Amino acid sequence: MAEISAELIARITAAGQQHVLRFFDELSYDDQENLKSQLEAVNWESLPALAAEYVVKRPETAIPDDLAPAGYFRISDAGMAKRYAEADARGIELLKQGKICCLTVAGGQGTRLGFDAPKGTYPIGPVSNRTLFEYFASSILRLSEKYNCSIPWYIMTSPINRAATENFFKAHNFFGLAEKDLFFFTQGTMPAFGLDGKLLMSSKSSLALSPDGHGGTLLALRRSGALDKMKQDGTEIVSYFQVDNPLVPVVSPRFAGLLALENAEVGAIVLSKTGPFEKLGNFCMSCGRTMIIEYSDLPAELAEKRNADGSLQYSAGSPAIHVFSRNYIERLTAGNSLQLPWHRADKKIASINDAGELCTPADNNGVKLESFIFDALPLAEKVILFEGDRNELFAPTKNLTGVDSVESCRRMISDRNARRLAACGVDIPRNADGSCNAEIEIDPRLVCDDADAAALVAATGLKAILPGQKVAL
Ligand code: UTP
């Protein structure tokens, strides 16, 4: 029988959660050990307040009185041309010096996609079925070849998908990347609550645990030793992106260069919103700090506020593409702690009943708490916001079909490639709405920018693509 200390039992009891031990005595030794290690990792003292604030009550996001739209560097600001050229040069210099790394958050559960394996292993390529992970790996390889540098890649998983993710990379020989430049690390978990504030259990020997949100990234970097490795490697800038967006530039020299030139701690890409209620977080200002208000929390009268020229006042949407200075992550996580605010998500959570039987609910029966990385923005001394072109860099794969889906993502990949080829003089077949009437994939191992695309077209002698053709270059 595994020993569980009286002190731990007292902490669990004081938190009003003693039901988690109700099957302990009937478990095998290994199962007891498993449950015990989960229970030891829970911060029991914080649970009563969390349950009261976020579960039993429904938390409301307070909108600051002084909330104002955030300003940002515009893509096509002629007055910025010189500054952008300087930023390009600085970003490329930093790359060549090996001072930029990539960071992908891949610990999510991808429930909307309904794909059982880690999302990064999803075959997103419209022609080749290349996976999301291969997109990023190939882009990193191309950039490191182009600038003759190494670009370490940090990949955050959850405890649930860590082994499957690493095994996938091993099975594909790390996609040609040097193993020393890859660093997998695991984010924390959070136990799920029933609607009454009691913790749910997924079996007699396990709490219902789920990843603690991408807000767990910064502390997980510290705790895993990733931050130490960055320091040893001389990394200064961390290029952060989500696992579901194959269009993302794994490193944008201009964006990274601007962060360095402006001496900012955090940079975030901005998309100009297509309408007041587009489902993107809104970049705002309060008390001189940059913050994001989720689309569901921004009051309609603010979302619809317009400038004299008819443009939206709150026009800066977030595609979750950031750059962080390493010093900022060091500063925030010094002392090995950082707790960003929690956000509540109501979910259907399979859990055991008092008889120990697993029940799959038809309706939401519980609450998961997650923290979000964008809540770290107000903690930065200086944030720069930089507009990106959504057609060039944002194709999130959240669902199978419809908005932000595999379908829309594949179309956007083809459309972007069509634009690149058309700019090099290749004839592209078009649909009535101007979209490309072909499926076109370009290997990111070969092309990371327009100059690469021109070289590829010259080398292949490609002149035209036929209507409906599937082309993999
Ligand atoms: P999403 O908010 O899209 O969540 O994550 P998800 O879990 O992938 O998908 P759904 O909501 O269940 O359908 C945005 C990014 O943050 C990462 C995801 O892997 C994705 O890259 N993420 C999310 C984490 O790394 N950890 C988390 O705990 C949550």
pLDDT at 2: 80
Pick the residue whose CA is nearest to atom 18 on ligand 1. 108
pLDDT in tens, 286-308: 999 999 999 999 999 999 999 99
Are the C-beta atoms of residues 376 and 218 closer than 8 Å to each other?
Answer: yes
Work out the average pLDDT over 438-462.
96
**Does residue 428 surpass a pLDDT of 90?**
yes
Q: Is residue 445 in contact with ligand 1, taking CB distance under 6 Å?
A: no
**Does residue 59 surpass a pLDDT of 90?**
no
**Does residue 58 surpass a pLDDT of 90?**
no
> Could you give phi then psi for residue 427, rounded to 5 degrees?
-75, 125
Q: Distance between alpha carbon 388 and the CA centroid of its chain, in Å?
A: 17
Pick the residue whose CA is nearest to atom 5 on ligand 1. 108
Pick the residue whose CA is nearest to atom 28 on ligand 1. 213
Atom in ligand 1 nearest the alpha carbon of residue 243 = 21
pLDDT at 61: 81
Work out the average pLDDT over 177-206.
96
Pick the residue whose CA is nearest to atom 15 on ligand 1. 242
Measured distance between the N- and C-terminal CA atoms of the chain, rounded to whole angstroms: 61
pLDDT in tens, 11-24: 999 999 999 999 99
pLDDT at 55: 94
- Rounded to whole angstroms, how far apart are CA atoms 330 and 325? 9
- Rounded to whole angstroms, how far apart are CA atoms 426 and 460? 11
Q: Is residue 107 in contact with ligand 1, taking CB distance under 6 Å?
A: yes
Distance 86 CA to ligand 1 centre (A): 35
- Rounded to whole angstroms, how far apart are CA atoms 51 and 303? 31
Atom in ligand 1 nearest the alpha carbon of residue 109 = 7
Work out the average pLDDT over 253-258.
97
**For a substitution probing ligand 1, which of 103, 105, 121 has the most ligand atoms within 8 Å of its CB?**
105
Work out the average pLDDT over 243-254.
97
pLDDT in tens, 344-369: 999 999 999 999 999 999 999 999 99
By percentage, how much of the chain surpasses pLDDT 90?
95
Q: Is residue 322 in contact with ligand 1, taking CB distance under 6 Å?
A: no
pLDDT in tens, 324-343: 999 999 999 999 999 899 99
Distance 314 CA to ligand 1 centre (A): 25
Are the C-beta atoms of residues 352 and 204 closer than 8 Å to each other?
Answer: yes
> Positive or negative CA dihedral for 430, 449, 145, 99?
negative
Mean pLDDT, the chain, whole residue set:
96
pLDDT at 108: 94
pLDDT at 3: 86
pLDDT at 119: 98
pLDDT at 60: 82
> Could you give phi then psi for residue 312, rounded to 5 degrees?
-70, 140
pLDDT at 342: 94
Distance 268 CA to ligand 1 centre (A): 18
Pick the residue whose CA is nearest to atom 27 on ligand 1. 213
pLDDT at 292: 96
Could you tell me the CA-to-CA distances from 166 to 139, 157, 386 in Å, in that order?
19, 9, 33
**Does residue 156 surpass a pLDDT of 90?**
yes
Tokens of 186: 């695991």
Q: Which amino acid is at 5?
A: S
pLDDT in tens, 403-427: 999 999 999 999 999 999 999 999 9
Distance 116 CA to ligand 1 centre (A): 14
Work out the average pLDDT over 392-403.
96
**Does residue 434 surpass a pLDDT of 90?**
no
Tell me the pLDDT band of 62, cut-offs 50, 70 and 90: confident
- Percent of the chain that is helix, strand, coil (3-state, to 5): 35, 20, 40
pLDDT at 242: 98
Q: Which residues is 322 bridged to in the sheet?
A: 240, 268
Could you tell me the CA-to-CA distances from 98 to 92, 228, 265 in Å, in that order?
10, 16, 19
Atom in ligand 1 nearest the alpha carbon of residue 399 = 13
Are the C-beta atoms of residues 272 and 55 closer than 8 Å to each other?
Answer: no
Distance 214 CA to ligand 1 centre (A): 7
Tell me the pLDDT band of 214, cut-offs 50, 70 and 90: very high
